[in-house]
């Protein structure tokens, strides 16, 4: 079996080219027998291309490349043709197709897809974190979080956690209930990361009554009584004074507004 030598040349990390090459090679050599695939990532100047072409000529290699800059693609084709090297441009034809269809010039910026991937995975990680450490279910998350939200029930802790997670902040939230002592971790967290959420008793009364109705329960339960709400808010105030963290009044704020206040404070504190 003749040896197959393939160079994968990229101006980014080279994963796209490598995966396409492997997908094609396995149709002929499922176990990559007598096959060498060598990756050349972050190739960003003509000198690099010249040296790779020289090496490919010596090793009788095929060059598969993913280069977003037109001048780099042209130079690669030119040098390969001059040296009699078999080559294939993976991205060029597709870039030209989209250029024709959109009447736009490509950015020609290497690695954009990986930047998007990084942002995507950070968001997913933050969302999973917010779910795992929602409503104080695991206090260990408090010390791992970028943001810690503290408040009585129905102060938008969970939707706020999810909104911030989509901004790639890892958020843990802790409910404050008079009958239950806050976790010790709450007193150990950096005060700049901790935010108390307060709301007017009247507004909270309305919200809790609506919540009870949605659950098919009577709206005169203790949970929605004014006396209970005031007791919870008084207890919350005592905890917040111990923590010494910022307090945000969410009475008439949308989740987005509260999130923007928190993001601004967090970024200022960095």
- Known binder of ligand: residue 208? no
Measured between its terminal Cα atoms, the distance across the chain in Å is: 60
Residues 156 and 125: beta-carbon distance below 8 Å: no
- Known binder of ligand: residue 161? no
- Known binder of ligand: residue 155? yes
Pairing status of strand 171-175 against strand 62-66: unpaired
- Known binder of ligand: residue 153? yes
- Known binder of ligand: residue 105? no
CA atoms within 13 A on the CB side of 65: 29
- Known binder of ligand: residue 191? no
Torsion of CA 51, 53, 59, 62, to 10 degrees: 140
Residues 13 and 66: beta-carbon distance below 8 Å: no
- Known binder of ligand: residue 83? no
Q: Measured between alpha carbons, how far is 60 from 66 in angstroms, rounded to an integer?
A: 20
3-state secondary structure of 172: strand
- Known binder of ligand: residue 140? no
Binding residues for ADP: 151-158
Binding residues: 151-158
């Amino acid at each position: 079996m003749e040896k197959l030598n393939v160079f994968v040349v990229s101006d980014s990390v080279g994963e796209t080219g490598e995966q396409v090459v492997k997908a094609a090679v396995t149709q002929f050599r499922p176990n990559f027998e007598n096959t060498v695939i060598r990756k050349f990532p972050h190739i960003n100047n003509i000198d690099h291309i010249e040296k790779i072409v020289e090496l490919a000529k010596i090793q009788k290699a095929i060059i598969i490349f993913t280069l977003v800059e037109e001048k780099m693609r042209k130079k690669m084709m030119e040098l390969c043709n001059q040296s009699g090297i078999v080559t294939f441009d993976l991205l060029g034809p597709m870039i030209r197709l989209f250029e024709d269809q959109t009447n736009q010039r490509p950015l020609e910026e290497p690695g954009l897809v990986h930047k998007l991937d990084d942002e995507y995975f950070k968001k997913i990680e933050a969302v999973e974190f917010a779910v795992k450490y929602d409503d104080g279910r695991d206090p260990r998350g408090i010390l791992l979080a970028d943001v810690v939200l503290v408040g009585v029930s129905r102060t938008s802790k969970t939707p706020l956690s999810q909104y911030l997670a989509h901004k790639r902040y890892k958020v843990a939230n802790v409910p404050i209930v008079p009958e239950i002592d806050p976790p010790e971790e709450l007193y150990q967290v950096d005060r700049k990361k901790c935010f108390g959420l307060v709301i007017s008793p009247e507004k909270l009364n309305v919200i809790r009554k609506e919540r009870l109705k949605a659950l098919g329960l009577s709206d005169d339960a203790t949970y929605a009584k004014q006396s209970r709400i005031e007791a919870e808010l008084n207890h919350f105030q005592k905890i917040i004074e111990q923590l010494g963290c910022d307090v945000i009044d969410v009475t008439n704020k949308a989740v987005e507004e509260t999130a923007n206040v928190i993001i601004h404070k967090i970024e200022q504190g960095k």
